[in-house]
């Protein structure tokens, strides 16, 4: 029998990879035969975390049906964010903290979704509920995922449960939470060596909203000017991506992790709903979004309300 593949969303962030590693390990301890894989290579932040805790990055795949007929999903459920042939296999389980959309299965499954800041916070609960000990390295990558998804507890998606989980995992991982957290987040802000296309694809997801197909990418930085000095290059790459993939709009959210603000770059039409969603006016295709750091809570719901309302 083939292994059950466990993976997060396309363009994986630290939670997509960390939760897959942790959940696959838990399932193996419970008697399943699972392998954590990834729908993309780790970004620099995630690689920093993997290296810190001595973990090997999961192998990268883009399709699953040739390898297995059974999968488990973490940190996503929407099929357009998953493996290309996800509809051709059986989804045995989902552990997620996002909205539920564009998802259905032919068979019953285990589904665990909670409104917390990070999937790994939920996976920690599953370890405890099943009375399975958490290895140091697994604790470290789960901690890294929580730090990443909550921007070291600055994101409005962060809950008390995430903070409590992070503190517990930091003890097991034997790291100083605040020191390690800032070092890891800074590791993910090295943007200068990347092409515009690579920047756009670092952490990007597609969302059908009404009749529109919207692509939303996000990059973390400690210098917004460094990002927007490349605006012309970014806009050209966004247009290329839209033409190749059929997106109506491409939004890039550049987030300053130190000041907890973001700046928005928009390419495509219509832009009026974007302005309405954020109560702003685009100037030179850009808008400053004070206090906005979370795509899940401060970007997607606002756009969805306007485009589908």
Return the CATH architecture of domain 196-308. Answer: Roll (3.10)
Beta pairing partners, 94:
73, 111
- For residue 133, what is the enclosing H or E element? none
The ranges of the chain annotated as CATH 3.90.1640.10 are 4-189
121-135: per-residue pLDDT in tens? 999 999 999 999 999
- Per-residue pLDDT at 5: 98
- Per-residue pLDDT at 302: 96
> Could you tell me the CATH superfamily of domain 4-189?
inorganic pyrophosphatase (n-terminal core) (3.90.1640.10)
The ranges of the chain annotated as CATH 3.10.310.20 are 196-308
Residue 202 has pLDDT above 90, yes or no: no
31-78: per-residue pLDDT in tens? 999 999 999 999 999 999 999 999 999 999 989 999 999 999 999 999
231-266: per-residue pLDDT in tens? 999 999 999 999 999 999 999 999 998 889 999 999
Residue 76 labelled as part of a binding site: no
Whole-structure pTM value: 0.83
CA angle 51, 119, 142 (to 5 degrees): 30
209-230: per-residue pLDDT in tens? 999 999 999 999 989 999 999 9
Nearest of 143, 220, 221, 226 to residue 179 by alpha carbon: 143
Nearest of 259, 267, 246 to residue 290 by alpha carbon: 259
Per-residue pLDDT averaged across 130-143, rounded?
98
Length of the chain: 309
Secondary structure E strands in 222-282? 249-256, 261-268
Residue 15 labelled as part of a binding site: yes
98-109: per-residue pLDDT in tens? 999 999 999 999
- On the 0-12 / 13-18 / 19+ scale of CB atoms within 10 A, 271 is middle
The answer to whether the bond into 89 is cis (omega within 30° of 0) is: no
Is residue 185 within 8 Å of 152, Cβ to Cβ? yes
Secondary structure E strands in the chain? 4-7, 34-36, 70-74, 90-96, 110-113, 204-209, 212-221, 249-256, 261-268, 286-289
Where does the pLDDT of residue 1 fall: very low under 50, low under 70, confident under 90, or very high at 90 and above?
low
Residue 229 labelled as part of a binding site: no
Q: Is 251 helix (H, G, I), strand (E, B) or coil?
A: strand
């Amino acid at each position: 029998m083939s292994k059950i593949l466990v993976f997060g969303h396309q363009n994986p962030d630290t939670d997509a990879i960390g939760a897959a590693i942790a959940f696959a390990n838990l399932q193996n301890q419970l008697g399943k035969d699972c392998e954590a894989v990834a729908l993309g290579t780790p970004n620099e932040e995630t690689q920093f975390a993997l290296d810190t805790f001595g973990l090997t990055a999961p192998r990268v795949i883009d399709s699953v049906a040739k390898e297995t007929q059974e999968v488990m999903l973490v940190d996503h459920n929407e099929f357009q964010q998953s493996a290309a042939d996800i509809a051709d296999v059986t989804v045995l389980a989902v552990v997620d903290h996002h909205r539920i959309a564009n998802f259905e299965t032919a068979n019953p499954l285990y589904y665990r979704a909670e409104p917390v800041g990070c999937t790994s916070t939920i996976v920690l609960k599953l370890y405890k509920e099943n009375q399975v000990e958490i290895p140091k390295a697994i604790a470290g990558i789960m901690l890294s995922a929580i730090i990443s998804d909550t921007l070291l507890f600055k994101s409005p998606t962060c809950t008390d449960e995430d903070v409590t989980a992070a503190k517990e995992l930091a003890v097991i991982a034997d790291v100083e939470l605040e020191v390690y957290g800032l070092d890891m987040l800074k590791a993910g802000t090295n943007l200068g060596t990347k092409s515009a296309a690579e920047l756009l694809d670092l952490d990007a997801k597609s969302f059908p909203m009404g009749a529109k197909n919207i692509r939303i990418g996000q990059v973390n930085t400690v210098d917004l000017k460094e990002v927007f000095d490349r605006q012309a290059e970014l806009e050209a790459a966004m247009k290329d991506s839209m033409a190749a993939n059929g997106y109506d709009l491409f939004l890039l959210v550049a987030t300053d992790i130190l000041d907890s603000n973001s700046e928005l770059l928009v390419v495509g039409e219509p832009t009026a709903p974007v302005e309405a969603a954020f109560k702003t006016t685009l100037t030179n295709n850009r808008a400053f979004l004070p206090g906005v750091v979370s795509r899940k809570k401060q970007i997607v719901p606002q756009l969805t309300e306007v485009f589908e309302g």
